[in-house]
Amino acid sequence: MWSSAIFGSFARALIVALLLHIAPTDARQKCSLKARDQAVLHPVDHGPVPSPTSSTIIGTATVTFNGKPSASPIYNYSPYRYGMDKIRGVNIGGWLVLEPWITPSLFDATGNDKIIDEFTLGQYLDPGKAQTLLQQHWSTWITEDDFVQIAAAGLNHVRIPIGYWSIPLTSSDTKESTDSSPYVTGAWDFLLRAVSWANNHGLQVIIDLHGAPGSQNGYDNSGELTNNPVWAVNQGNISRTVDTIKFLAKTFGSDVGMIELLNEAAGFRGDDWANAVRQYWLDGYAAVRASGGQDVQVMIGEAFMGFDAWKNFLSYPGAQGVFMDYHEYQIFSHPELSRSYDDHINFACTYKPTLSTFSVTSLYTILGEWSNAITDCAKWLNGRWVGSRWDNTWYPSSDTQYHGSCDGYTGSYQGWSDSYKQFLRKYFEVQVEVGEAGQGWVFWTWKTESADEWSYQKGLEGGWIPQNPTDRRYPNICK
């Protein structure tokens, strides 16, 4: 028998779903990676490496770090040695693309239970109130202080998600519609600031197109939670996305390290989607090279199709400077949640030979999203008003499973056990080891309001993430 609180949360989620004509969905479904035969490696030429130059301090800026003002050096921008140096980075999630679980207070502030993503925020909230709410969020959630802290943590990359609706295309940039309604615009200026902050503090930027017209996957992190994403089945949507990438490449060029063509495109939805993604990668790559030059790197994703689908795709010499992005989470199904601490470690190790081999034989590969979470307990991780599989509040039925209480696994780390935090350190290190078997890694995410297991910032504070990402308590875990 469910408690009244659990039943109330579920009922509210179901009502919202019915209002939006969608069925209960997992907002962050993930597909498993199939390992490959590693017996024979056939290394490929990845093309020329950008010539390295040393960063030069050209001044100082006074910023606040951990509540205290300090002088921070300002660097000039220098090319990164992609393919030679390891990428060690963090995602700036929940800032320029909203996610309810990262900043639940922002959604609470709307006072509207039907607002479950950025699309419905623009749809149901008064335009003036929406603009005020988002301007306050953009101005305060991430500031230059965060970039100072990220650089001080020994990281060298930030991946910044942005939605198509925030990129100011005009009719001179595309033949397609430039309408962004119902989304609230205004985040573009903050992206420009972020690139400047990153360059000032010696960080490379990956601009990540996280949301496309019509939604590329139906997840709330694409901007719109829906069971009927239409990006791939509408050529106008795809063309507008290519033009958006062209605009980004023309605007930033080599002032950023990398442009990611699209986050988590849903190639698993059928052959039409898989074919559309494949062609879009080709067209998006061509757009970057035509408008942004040869120095900016281009990142594609495996689109939940597995690495074998991308053998010899966009490889040198037909293309150059192309990276493959892979995301690894072990929390979005009951079999994954049933794993012990050791099982999570051992399963992460199974990715290492595959990432290593694909990096050598096909495209440079990075672990572009991963976290310390081993439960889906973070509030609204599966969608606003939706519970977790772990404690059987995620659409509970006779077929679902109860793994345990969420207490001690999420929220503030202050109440966590020493054994759990010790595991989190080991889990962090094993995923770093896996990522660095390829070209590196980008942790998801820098900060959250109430889910410390997902926060790099809180991991540094709590000690399960080392102050220097190369430090190891558990070297060679996967040996």
Could you tell me if residue 364 is inside a domain? yes
Number of domains observed in the structure of the chain: 1
Residue 33 has pLDDT above 70, yes or no: no
Residue 256 has pLDDT above 50, yes or no: yes
Report, in angstroms and rounded to the nearest whole number, the Rg of the chain calculated over CA atoms.
21
CA distances from 447 to 141, 183, 398, 456 (A): 9, 24, 36, 6
* Res. 78 pLDDT band, cuts 50 70 90: low
> Residue 131 class from Cβ within 10 Å (0-12 exposed, 13-18 middle, 19+ buried)?
middle
**Token digits of residue 320:** 């150059």
Q: Is 41 among the domain residues? A: no
Active-site residue 264, yes or no?
yes
Give DSSP secondary structure letters for 76-121: PP----BTTBPEEEEE-TTSSS--TTT-HHHHHTTT-TT--SHHHH
Average of per-residue pLDDT across 40-68: 49
Hey, CA dihedral for 467, 470, 472, 477, is it positive or negative? positive
pLDDT in tens, 372-421: 999 999 999 999 999 999 999 999 887 789 999 999 999 999 999 999 99
The residue from 176, 224, 328, 369 that is catalytic is 369
- Structural domain of 191: 80-462
Average pLDDT for 444-449: 98
Question: Is 54 inside any structural domain?
Answer: no
Give, to the nearest 10 degrees, the angle between helix 341-349 and helix 418-435.
10
Query: Residue 314: CB partners within 8 Å, gap ≥ 6?
Result: 281, 282, 285, 298, 300, 322, 363
* Residue 392 · residue 402 · CB < 8 Å: yes
Picking from 9, 1, 20, 110, the residue whose alpha carbon sits closest to that of residue 380 is 9
Domain assignment present for residue 2? The answer is no
Per the residue annotation, which of 99, 176, 260, 264 is the catalytic one?
A: 264
Q: Is residue 400 part of a domain?
A: yes
- What is the rounded average pLDDT of the residues 444-468? 98
Q: For residue 74, is it within any domain? A: no
Q: Tell me the mean pLDDT in the region 285-314.
A: 96
In angstroms, the CA 143 to CA 301 distance is 28
Is-catalytic flag, 369? yes
What pLDDT is recorded for position 49? 57
Report how far apart, in Å, the C-alpha atoms of 285 and of each of 158, 291, 454 are: 21, 10, 31
Work out whether the CA dihedral 352, 355, 361, 366 comes out positive or negative. Answer: negative
pLDDT, position 67: 47
Q: Is the pLDDT of residue 369 over 70?
A: yes
Is residue 378 included in any domain, yes or no?
Answer: yes
58: left (phi over 0), alpha (psi -120 to 50) or beta: alpha
What predicted TM-score, i.e. pTM, was given to this entire model?
Answer: 0.87
pLDDT digits (tens, 9 = 90+) for 142-191: 999 999 999 999 999 999 999 999 999 999 999 999 999 999 999 999 99
The residue-averaged pLDDT of 244-271 equals 97
The H-or-E segment that residue 422 falls in is helix 418-435
pLDDT at 58 > cutoff 90:
no
Is residue 390 within 8 A of residue 406, CB to CB? The reply is yes
- CATH number of the domain at 199, please: 3.20.20.80
H/E stretch holding 158 reads strand 157-163
Give pLDDT tens digits for 189-225.
Answer: 999 999 999 999 999 999 999 999 999 999 999 999 9
Domain-located, residue 283: yes
Mean pLDDT of the chain: 88
